[in-house]
Structure 1
Amino acid sequence: MGTESEKRIVLRIDPNDESITLKDIMQRIQEIQRQNPNLDVFFDGDEYAVCSRPREKARPIAEAVEGKKKA
């Protein structure tokens, strides 16, 4: 699994800026995701920022389940 250190802040959002809507944030996330299909782009509420991290390569479901059992 990815580590916290791989997370990168792409866009910090001012929580006091009432002009920014959830729709604005979601559109920005979609735009970044389209430009960077190899990244997982998400909103981090603790950081109040749009963040990204490298996408994990898809694993067979059995391997993923076994990995969780061992952890």
Structure 2
Amino acid sequence: MRGAAADANASSGANSAFADPRKEFDKKAVCGDPEQVNGIVKSGLSKADNFDTLQVGMASFHPKGGGAALYKNVFQQALG
């Protein structure tokens, strides 16, 4: 992703930035403390979750509210 941002800047004169969120999520992902990423979510299935055997919702492995705040912090630091 860092390379894609650099390529976009070089080829089109864009002013894109890359922000690596891995440090912010260290020990805070699934089973972390505090856990900021959903594990397997079985509730709230939508029509897009049309699996006959898995029954895993689309929110699985996506950030919780606190995880979204971690992303926000990283992006603000990169843009600041």
Query: Is TM > 0.5 for Structure 1 vs Structure 2?
Result: no
- Which structure has the higher relative contact order (CA within 8 Å, separation 6+)? 1
Higher strand share: 1
Q: Which has the larger radius of gyration?
A: 2
Query: TM-score, with normalisation over the residues of structure 1?
Result: 0.27
